[in-house]
Amino acid sequence: MAIDLKLVHDALPVAKKPPVDPSSLAHRALLGGPFWHKIPAYREVDEATFLDHAWQAKSSITRVAKLVEAIQDLVPPGFVEDLESGMKQAPMSVRVSPYIVSLIDWERPYDDPLRIQFFPLASRLRPDHPKLGLDSLAEQADAPVAGLTHRYVDKALFLPLDTCPVYCRFCTRSYAIGLDTDEVEKVHLRPNDERWRRAYQYIASRPELEDIVISGGDAYQLRAAHIEEIGDALLAIPNVRRMRFATKGPAVMPMKILTDDAWLDALTRVVEKGRKLHKDVVLHTHFNSPNEITGITEAAMGRLFERGILVRNQSVLIRGVNDSVDTMTLLIKRLGHVNVHAYYVYVHDMVRGVEDLRTSVDTAIHIEKHVRGATAGYNTPTFVVDAPGGGGKRDVHSYEHYNRDSGVSVYSAPSVKPGRPFVYFDPLHQLSTHMRRRWSDPNEQKRMIDQALAKAR
């Protein structure tokens, strides 16, 4: 029997809290309607076309000329030149879906959280931190087979391919992902039966491996037949108990889940086969901004939910995108609203050419404190530092030592690489002028690092 909630006013229980400010419910207000019509090139694009994943992929923007054709005179003067020069210096190639292009506020592109993630601007670039490298997580050093990183005891990271539906400026794998750029000639990880077979052989030969992350690149780029081939191969290995297909797709091209039935059916079959074997197969995705979640996302995540496919999210903490308490809280509540579990927030990796995007360990700690308690605990992410040099993910609070003045934090990873310290560096632009001056002197750099390591001991 349904309970009648329409009580007469004086029978309402006395509230212990003041009425909420309607803005605190903004996570439920999702963008709907043909929002893409504000982009000149998409003015005539109907809903069926916009929702067609093949149209999205085919119409993705990879060159400045194509972007200019799409947005025409929406942008402020000087912006196009700024972008052209930014792209020449970037370690990542550019690829952006019409969905994302339509969500950017092109009249104010400098501050737009989606522009910041996907389009580099020369005027915003900052010099790299002196201690930063291309493969900062040393994934290649922990790889027994190209594209298979075995770092943690019972889990491994499998990179079946090196392409994504979009390219993020801040990609940790800029050493491999995307096309070569003027700045970086990449290690290529192409879909390749022989390389994949060697990865499965290795996984089967290591009884301790129970958990495989299938990343890339991006599972969106795998053909339906490949999703099933990889899924079946891994499910057949007795020691494999858990796997996750990782894709940025839901954040940048949610319509694929609505219109690429072959792909979704293949994923569903792997999930169901896993369920029968009592093996966990889930989807991991990568939303960073609440603006990425629209009515289309809600419909797509609803379709996954109906099929019983669990989705978890890993965000990167990015300056100007989600580095405030309000924005991060909105993102996390909005993820919960569309049935996506917020799993991790990564302190930005120390990758090349994106120093403007990094924030400090202190920022992560501050935001975490405010986010925890705002919603369900299982929808509350753990804030982690992926320790440079291959220590793996560490809870941001678990540093052995952190000097907020020099920005040096030291972590240890007893279950991954016992006895070794791992050092992370806050971006220089958040330090005092005095400290920035010290970082420009190699002897001082060494002194600050040695001091932190001594304190951590």
Ligand X SMILES: *Cc1c(COP(=O)(O)O)cnc(C)c1O
158 lines the binding site for ligand SF4 (CB under 6 A): no
* Size of site (CB under 6 A) for ligand SF4: 10
Over the window 254 to 293, marking each residue x when it contacts ligand SF4 by CB under 6 A and - when it does not, the resulting string is --------------------------------x-------
Give ∠ CA 374-377-379 in degrees, rounded to 5: 80
Rounded to 5 degrees, what are φ and ψ at 61? -100, 125
Over the window 226 to 245, marking each residue x when it contacts ligand X by CB under 6 A and - when it does not, the resulting string is --------------------
Closest to ligand SF4 by CB, 274 vs 388, is 388
Q: How far is the CB of 192 from ligand SF4 (least distance, A)?
A: 18
Q: How far is the CB of 215 from ligand X (least distance, A)?
A: 8
168 lines the binding site for ligand SF4 (CB under 6 A): yes
Select from 151, 256, 286, 358 the one that contacts ligand X (CB under 6 A): 151
Select from 41, 94, 103, 164 the one that contacts ligand SF4 (CB under 6 A): 164
Closest to ligand SF4 by CB, 75 vs 257, is 257
393 lines the binding site for ligand X (CB under 6 A): yes
171 lines the binding site for ligand SF4 (CB under 6 A): yes
Closest to ligand SF4 by CB, 171 vs 296, is 171
C-alpha span between 379 and 359 (Å, rounded):
23
Count of all residues that appear for the chain in the document: 457
Q: Which residue stretch of 151-159, 258-266, 416-424, 436-444 sits at the interface with ligand X (rule: CB under 6 A)?
A: 151-159
Select from 129, 150, 151, 248 the one that contacts ligand SF4 (CB under 6 A): 248
H or E, element range at 383 = strand 382-387
Q: Which residue stretch of 16-24, 72-80, 144-152, 428-436 sits at the interface with ligand X (rule: CB under 6 A)?
A: 144-152
354 lines the binding site for ligand SF4 (CB under 6 A): no
Return the residues of window 102-121 that contact ligand X according to CB under 6 A.
none
Q: What is the 3-state secondary structure (H, E, C) of the chain?
A: CCCCCCCCHHHCCCCCCCCCCHHHHHHHCCCCCCHHHHCHHHCCCCHHHHCCHHHHHHCCECCHHHHHHHHHHHCCCCHHHHHHHHHHHCCCCCCECHHHHHHCCCCCCCCCHHHHHHCCCHHHCCCCCCCCCCCCCCCCCCCCECCEECCCCCEEEECCCCCCCCCCCCCCCCCCCCCCCCCCCCCCCCCCHHHHHHHHHHHHHCCCCCEEEECCCCHHHCCHHHHHHHHHHHHCCCCCCEEEEECCHHHHCCHHHHHCHHHHHHHHHHHHHHHHCCCEEEEEECCCCHHHCCHHHHHHHHHHHHCCCCEEEEEEECCCCCCCHHHHHHHHHHHHHCCCEEEEEEECCCCCCCHHHCCCHHHHHHHHHHHCCCCCHHHCCEEEEEECCCCEEEEHHHCCEEECCCCEEEEECCCCCCCCEEEEECCHHHCCHHHHHHHCCHHHHHHHHHHHHHHHC
Q: Which residue stretch of 55-63, 149-157, 257-265, 436-444 sits at the interface with ligand X (rule: CB under 6 A)?
A: 149-157
177 lines the binding site for ligand SF4 (CB under 6 A): yes
214 lines the binding site for ligand SF4 (CB under 6 A): no
Closest to ligand SF4 by CB, 173 vs 312, is 173
167 lines the binding site for ligand SF4 (CB under 6 A): yes
Select from 173, 244, 341, 393 the one that contacts ligand SF4 (CB under 6 A): 173
Closest to ligand SF4 by CB, 42 vs 346, is 346
Closest to ligand X by CB, 213 vs 374, is 213
Query: Residue number with the shortest CB distance to ligand X?
Result: 157
Select from 213, 258, 277, 299 the one that contacts ligand X (CB under 6 A): 213
341 lines the binding site for ligand X (CB under 6 A): no
H or E, element range at 434 = helix 433-439
Closest to ligand SF4 by CB, 244 vs 248, is 248
CB atoms within 10 A of CB 164: 25
Note the residues at the interface with ligand SF4 (CB under 6 A): 164, 167-168, 171, 173, 177, 216, 218, 248, 286
Residues that bind ligand X (CB under 6 A): 149, 151-152, 155, 157, 213, 393
